[in-house]
Structure 1
Amino acid sequence: MIVLITGASSGIGRRTAELLAASGHQVFGAARRTHDIPAGVTPVPLDLTDGTGAEAAVRRVLDEAGRIDVLVNCAGYGEFGSVEETSIDDARRQLEVNVLGPTRLVQAVLPGMREAGSGRIVNVSSLAGEFAAPLGGWYHASKFALEALSDTLRGEVAQFGVDVTVVQPSYVDTGWHDTAMDRLAAASGTGPYRRMADAMRRYFAGSQVARQMSTVDAVAQVVARAAQAPRPRTRYRVGKGANVAVALATLLPDRTFDALTRAQFGYGRA
């Protein structure tokens, strides 16, 4: 297969690109830092905040390989901070990277997939697309949007032989959390939400989260499976307690779940 994967310079995206290349597929890895893309993967420059970058990346793959069989949208980051204090510019960048950029890539690859009568789109989302917590509003909003778009897209493109599947990791042992906590400190580390921000930063630095972490390899194995399965699931959840967390968010009354969230992160009484 001809595979285009974003976020291929680090973390889950990099490891998934390696696994798919090792399985014999021709893999194109897209990222801003192309010098970090692994050997055996063809680098493709891509900045998801550049409105023309997606089309250029897809065109480059098509010029070299002639088609794209699988698109894996793996790039993303977490914009953390209170809704009140997070700037609209930062919120817009979060949506550009996590939602609009992947959607531009989808729009660019679909004509070829429709013409071929086959294709696969794998969107790497998060459990954060199933329920929300304080101080992660824009990150949750981006993943909720990606989940909704994936469900909509799946219903639209099935008639053309194209599959859409979502991978939902929980906590993963990458630098993602460090970036998210840096963003949190910048937005809400000194203002009226400081107490909540400090509690969340302590939580993510603690042993409880470390025990729940999935390895990068474990998540990448699932993403690679979603890309290659003859009949993929619509969703793959990865991580200890992932299904339980979604069930609690779905079944419990909202205020009860809010209270559990406050207790989990150590916010205390609102």
Structure 2
Amino acid sequence: MEKIVVIGGSKGIGNAILLQQLEKRMVYNISRTAPEITHSNLIHYSADILQDTLPEIENIDALIYCPGSINLKPILSLSIDDFRNDFEINVIGAVKAIQHYLPALKRGTNPSIVVFSTVAVKLGMPFHASIAAAKGGVEGLVKSLGAELAPTIRINAIAPTITETSLSASILRNDRMKENMAERHPLKSYLKPQEAAQMADYLISKAAGSISGQIFQMDYGLVSFKL
């Protein structure tokens, strides 16, 4: 059975990925809180990606790094610590996980890595300076490591539009706000965690064996279309 490590599988997109993968792969979840599920294919490690030593795993076939942040403020309201914290969780945490599990990935079958960006890197959006800067670093990491790790390990990123998770609860807190958000997107909807999980599942599969160093916009047309 294939083995994957999910960083941040207790909530949001990470949890959708974890639930999807349990039926066909052994899942090692690393997060501060445990997922609200038990399963014979699930092993959970409680850890803070930035503070704690990561567990050793002999060999893995995929690493999916899910932690992120939504820190939307005008530039004059953002502190240097805001920028630093967003960079730490989105970039440094991913680097730490990749460095730690690279030897285990090299022992895996068709090994691959998936990380997460945001549509705000490609589409200039007010109040997104900190998170867009951090996720821009994630995209640069994907391009660089895609070249460095070829042909042994593939790495790709998913760049979602706003997704219905606990992180976005304040933005999608009532039906009117949800309707307005859907209307902003040319395809008249916004992302659900399960959709991002399906893309992650494809990217770690053998079917995606030709794909590395790519950023996949899951944006309901927000970046590509002006209607």
User: Among residues 94, 97, 114, which one is paired with 1:102 in the alignment?
Assistant: 94
Unaligned runs of 5+ in 1: 182-200, 249-270
Unaligned runs of 5+ in 2: 183-187
- Higher helix residue share: 1
1:20–1:27 Cα contact (<8 Å) kept: yes
**Cα RMSD after superposing both structures:** 2.5
Quick one: structure 1 residues 229 and 169, their matched pair in 2 at CA, closer, same or farther if it must change by over 3 Å? farther
Q: How far has the Cα of 1:70 moved from its partner?
A: 0.6
Which whole-Å CA distance do the structure 2 matches of 1:232 and 1:138 have between them?
33
Quick one: structure 1 residues 176 and 116, their matched pair in 2 at CA, closer, same or farther if it must change by over 3 Å? closer
AA aligned to 1:30 is I
Corresponding residue number in structure 1 for 2:157? 166
TM-score, length-normalised on structure 1? 0.71
Corresponding residue number in structure 1 for 2:25? 25
Asked if residue 178 in structure 1 is aligned to residue 169 in structure 2, the reply is yes
Q: How far has the Cα of 1:116 moved from its partner?
A: 5.5
Quick one: structure 1 residues 58 and 163, their matched pair in 2 at CA, closer, same or farther if it must change by over 3 Å? farther
Quick one: structure 1 residues 132 and 45, their matched pair in 2 at CA, closer, same or farther if it must change by over 3 Å? farther
Quick one: structure 1 residues 9 and 206, their matched pair in 2 at CA, closer, same or farther if it must change by over 3 Å? closer
The Cα offsets for residues 165-220 of structure 1, whole Å up to 9 and x where unpaired, read as: 111211211222236x6xxxxxxxxxxxxxxxxxxx99x93522134212221221
Q: How far has the Cα of 1:49 moved from its partner?
A: 3.1
Structure number with larger C-alpha Rg = 1
Asked if residue 2 in structure 1 is aligned to residue 10 in structure 2, the reply is no
Corresponding residue number in structure 1 for 2:185? none
Q: How far has the Cα of 1:237 moved from its partner?
A: 2.5
2:90–2:135 Cα contact (<8 Å) kept: yes
TM-score, length-normalised on structure 2? 0.84
Quick one: structure 1 residues 113 and 206, their matched pair in 2 at CA, closer, same or farther if it must change by over 3 Å? closer
AA aligned to 2:11 is S
Which whole-Å CA distance do the structure 2 matches of 1:167 and 1:120 have between them?
13
Which whole-Å CA distance do the structure 2 matches of 1:219 and 1:118 have between them?
21
User: Among residues 238, 241, 244, which one is paired with 2:224 in the alignment?
Assistant: 244
2:59–2:107 Cα contact (<8 Å) kept: no
